[in-house]
Amino acid sequence: MEKHSLERYSRQMRFAPIGEEGQKRLAKKVVLIVGVGALGTVLANHLVRAGVGRVKIVDRDYVEMSNLQRQMLFDESDVKESLPKAIAAERKLRAINSAVQVEATVADVTASTLPALMEDVDIVLDGTDNFRTRFLLNDMCFQKGIPFAYGGAVSARGMSALFIPGKTPCLRCLINEGSGSGETCDTVGVISPVVDIVASYQVVEVIKYLVGQTEALRGTLRSFDLWGNHQFDLKMAKAKADCPTCQQRLFPALTADETEVTTLCGRETVQINRQKPFDLALWKNRLTGSANVKATPFLLRIELEEGERIVLFPDGRALVQGTEDLTRARTLYSKYIGD
């Protein structure tokens, strides 16, 4: 190993289960982190500092002031610039460790966009905030035979597990789709230490897997409540015989309809995907005069006289912020953008 690597990772390599051989293995690995918000920023920070060779990050959103309480890679300048989270995180991560290849993608993760993101990936980490995307990741990972590190945090509670195709059950075996409480960070809040702990549990299991220390894997779905002072481990012994993902191999999330209009849970936001790109410069010129328009290289933010906001992204997505009413969102979109 090069001298600067020996110095940078010296304390990590002194930990016997990793050592120099484990460090060399990490340098050859590729990980994908889906979602670069609360969990995703902690995941990326740990893995880049640990020396994973290539870290791919993807997120569809941009940095807002309410993110700064728990999303550790962002600061007030990112909010001021309205930077996409993936871009802001990429800048910070490259400054942390220039030897790691950090690749950022600003996009919505769907059944059609995910396969390209997962090319050459050794493991996928969940940094998302919704089960629709988690079940999509679960199904795609089990279809392709790639491990999936699940994590979730809300209020003072957290959960994490590492699912390995052919070795463990999948997420659907332990959590029924649609059985969640419906609580989100936007509705019941979240304290930052919960996020750090969940992400740290995820990263520890991921590092064990990447360095080949599979005998040390926890093998449980761990849940905890920091405020209530309790923790529970559910052993991942058997898959459900009728599981549509890991047993029947039907992968329902991969064949589900990708609706054009969706509500982002708990965020008072509706996403509309028109399936073709937005020319941001063109739309800035078109909308200036009818609304307050702010442009960045990554998005166009339109403050409407009605009180809501529309955010346009180059990939063809639009966020209508300030409402969860699909009819209202469609009306505003049609008024300012068209059908």
Of 138, 123, 201, 208, which is closest to residue 173 (Cα–Cα)? Answer: 138
Decide if 185 is catalytic: yes
From the number of C-beta atoms within 10 Å of its C-beta (0-12, 13-18, 19+), residue 182 rates as: exposed
Catalytic residue among 141, 170, 173, 185: 185
Beta bridge partners of 160: 151, 222
**Three-state secondary structure call for residue 193:** helix
Question: Can you tell me the distance from the alpha carbon of 195 to that of 105, in angstroms, rounded to the nearest whole number?
Answer: 23
Question: Can you tell me the distance from the alpha carbon of 205 to that of 167, in angstroms, rounded to the nearest whole number?
Answer: 14
CB burial string 218-256: b at 16+ within 10 A, e below: bbbbbbbebeeeeeeeeebeebbeebbbbbeeebebbee
Question: Can you tell me the distance from the alpha carbon of 278 to that of 290, in angstroms, rounded to the nearest whole number?
Answer: 18
Of 29, 92, 31, which is closest to residue 57 (Cα–Cα)? Answer: 31
Of 86, 108, 151, which is closest to residue 269 (Cα–Cα)? Answer: 108
- Measured in whole angstroms, how far is the alpha carbon of residue 84 from the centre of its chain? 13
What is the sign, positive or negative, of the torsion defined by CA atoms of 132, 134, 139, 143?
positive
Task: Report the first-to-last Cα separation within the chain, whole angstroms.
Answer: 57
Q: Which residues are catalytic?
A: 185
